[in-house]
Structure 1
Amino acid sequence: MVGGRRRGPGRMGGDVLIEVAWLYYQDGLNQKEIADRLGLSRATVVNHLQEARAQGLIRISLAAPAFVQHRLAVALCERFGLRAAYVLPDEGLAEEEQFRRVVAGGAMWLPSLLGPGDRLGVAWGRTVHDLAEAVEPSRVPDLTVLQLVGSMATPYGFTAEACSTLLAQQLGARCVNIFAPAILSRPELAEELRAEPILRAQLDQIGTVNKFLFSTGTAGPDSHIVLSGLATAEDLRRNVAKGAAGVICGRFVDESGRAVPDVMEERMIGVPLPRLVGLEMGIMVTPGHDKVLPSLAAIRGGYVTHLVTGASVAEAMLSA
């Protein structure tokens, strides 16, 4: 019992401390609102905030150890062989609130994972774009951000070039974009375009990435890969029939994280998936339950060393 009322199932003292701190300092809730949401007394909320400050968890933003040492973060690392995980409290949040919280957490953690001379490959999608937008402007010396997927005629604002350009601006980095469509109509045309000197040089630079930022895509009819026009409904049906379980950098992968062999591959412009396996760092952001299975596929495939997600998604991944 806490404050005369029972805490939710599975919530431990340290986890509640972190959640109270987040709601107060990041989401801007007052003490009464936090008490009502979590089923605590207001006095307990005050005590938690004082304890969070005493433990050094609170700076301008929440300190990273509060999340990488979360019991679920430790469990994820032990279960899946990750080097680190960053787990955000998300109990009771609506889907969109969960998404925003995980993206904000990833934006806070990312700069600490980068160092001078890094070459960070960047995927595309709403998760990556919104994370880039949320990163506080800073400068990582001699950092290069590289677009990994060609351009596409998407109705969304989070095109591949927008993701890489925005993140490079936020981190004071050099940006290398791909000046070509993500997929072409004919394999012969794609082969000719890859041979063009300007594009060849850009693709060669992609091959030098040592760190990788991405979020997996789903293999359902509402997947961004279809809605963006990168794949047709027939492409989706065909790849799912072959075992596609998710999408990484615009390419279908099966449950083991292996690329699904398909005629689309010959028409695509971007990084080959094998180049992203076993990098120095693979940073995956998983903000929702719809991405649990694709994210597990990415982990099995060797793309992931660092994971950012919410507590309920972490639990789903551990129980899958």
Structure 2
Amino acid sequence: MSTAEVIPESPQVSDIEEVELITRAAWHYYNDGLTQNQIADMLGLSRIKVSRLLEKGRQTGLIELRINSPFEGCLGLQQDLIGAFGLADARVVPAVEGLAAPPRIGRAAASLLMQQLVPNDLLAIGWGEATSTTLRFMAPVFPQSHISLVSLTGGVSAYIGNTGLYGPQNFAHLIPTPLRVSSPELAEMLRIEPYVHHVLEMAITARTALIGVGSVARSASLVRYGYCTNDEIELFTRRGAVGDLLGHFYDRDGAILDLDLHRHLIAVTPDDMRRIPSVVAAAAGPEKVEAILGLLRGKLANTLVTDEETARDLLRRQT
């Protein structure tokens, strides 16, 4: 909710009659909720004159606006994140005691994506908890708006069910392979299989992508789905890994590490991800801060959806 305060005096507005008009216009506009046309009729002025009075009141300090909302601080944090990391956009949800972050992050990401997507659009999707939660909020929208989905990685089981995509869907194009296979040779053979190649190529034609941010914690999604072991994660961490993008591990500056694992992956590469104009990363939590920092420093995503506490940590540790 927003309120307006009219300051009794302003040294920049010397005409007492104008001060009175600004005060009356502001009171009726902000407190009574009247339109500028209604105020103009009431005061015997033109609508343009009322608009100019309100603008002059704001510019001179005669009118001060105050927003009484838990989102007020979040809006400031969004702008700080955009400025600090050169982002195209950001969404920050307020900290709420007793409520889990993932559903609120998912809802905020879904809202942002629905503003970006248009009918008959294509959305490229990664996987992980935040991505799955977001897609569950959006699932009813896809068939209604004729929006198609395309996966950025193999690993069908990570998409079906967890994302609201129950069984085959004619609007979802999934790579029919595991994310990680046993050898680089097999990975290369699968990547050039016509259908797999087609889906990988389709993914990088999307205007918008939604990704999670993988951490190097023992609870990481790659470990839970059996694509990496805890011992491997520890080794990657010792080599400087702070997070992963579609199974590709990167360091604190967002540089992709030279790991044999990467040659075993069936996934869009980080270089190809840069061809997608809007890459939306959804993530929050203290265990994700270093991973998000690396992602943003490396320009591996240009839009972030997170929560208030994580945003403050990112800004404190950005250097």
Moved more, 217-226 or 172-181: 172-181
Aligned residues of 1:67 and 1:87 also touching (Cα < 8 A): no
- SS at structure 1 position matched to 2:244: strand
For residue 229 of structure 1, report the CA deviation from its aligned partner: 0.8
C-alpha displacement of 1:73: 0.9
Distance 1:68 1:163, change over 3 A: farther
Question: Structure 2 residue aligned with 1:83, among 80, 88, 106?
Answer: 88
Quick one: which amino acid aligns to residue 160 of structure 1? Y
C-alpha separation in 2, matches of 1:79 and 1:173: 41
Q: In the TM superposition, what is the alpha-carbon distance from 1:280 to its structure 2 partner?
A: 1.2
Q: Deviations over 1:251-289 (max 9, x none)?
A: 211112222111111111111111112531111112322
Normalising by structure 1, we get a TM-score of 0.70
SS in 2 for 1:70: helix
CA distance in 1, matches of 2:84, 2:170: 34
Which residue of structure 2 lines up, in the alignment, with residue 307 of structure 1? Answer: 304
**2:128 corresponds to 1:125:** yes
Gaps of 5+ in 1: 1-12, 15-50, 55-65, 154-158
In the alignment, the residues of structure 1 paired with residue 226 and residue 232 of structure 2 have an alpha-carbon distance, to the nearest angstrom, of 11
SS in 2 for 1:99: helix
Question: 2:210 aligned to 207, 210, 213, which one?
Answer: 213
Tell me which residue corresponds to 1:151.
Answer: 155
Once the two structures are superposed, the pairs formed by residues 77-116 of structure 1 within 5 Å of their partners are 77-91=82-96, 93-94=97-98, 97-116=100-119
Aligned to 1:166: 165
Question: What's 2:220 paired with?
Answer: 223
CA distance in 2 between counterparts of 1:68 and 1:196 reads 50
Q: Percent identity?
A: 24
Cα 1:208–1:161 shift into 2, 3 Å: farther
Structure 1 window deviating more from structure 2 (77-86 vs 110-119): it is: 110-119
Q: Residue in 2 aligned with 1:19?
A: none
Query: 2:13 corresponds to which residue?
Result: none
RMSD: 3.1
For residue 70 of structure 1, the aligned residue among 63, 72, 75 is: 75
Stretches of 4+ aligned residues off by more than 6 angstroms: 66-69
Whether contact under 8 Å (2:204, 2:275) holds in the other structure is no
The answer to whether the 8 A contact 2:126-2:212 is kept is yes
Change (3 A) 1:145 1:193: same
SS of 1:203's equivalent in the other structure is helix
Following superposition, the deviation at residue 216 of structure 1 comes to: 0.3
Match among 245, 249, 255 for residue 246 of structure 2 = 249
TM-score, normalisation: structure 2? 0.70
Larger radius of gyration: 2
CA deviation digits over 1:269-314, x for unaligned, max 9? 1111111125311111123222111111111121222221111111
Question: How many pairs are equivalent?
Answer: 252
The runs of 5 or more residues in structure 2 that have no matched partner are 3-29, 34-70
Cα shift at 1:105: 1.8
Once the two structures are TM-superposed, the CA of residue 128 in structure 1 deviates from its matched residue by 0.8
Match of 2:282 in 1: 285
Give, as a single letter, the amino acid of the residue that structure 2 aligns with 1:211. Answer: T
Aligned-residue offset at 1:90: 0.8
Q: Within 5 Å, give how 1:38-77 maps onto structure 2.
A: 70-77=75-82
Deviation string, structure 1 residues 115-156 (Cα, Å, up to 9, x no partner): 245432101011111111122733575533111111166xxx
Distance 1:168 1:312, change over 3 A: farther
- Provide the rounded CA distance (Å) in 2 between the counterparts of 1:229 and 1:99: 22
User: Contact 2:213 / 2:244 at 8 angstroms: preserved in 1?
Assistant: yes
Q: Distance in 2 between matches of 1:275 and 1:152?
A: 21
Alignment counterpart, residue 272 of structure 1, candidates 263, 269, 273: 269
Distance 2:127 2:286 in 1: 19
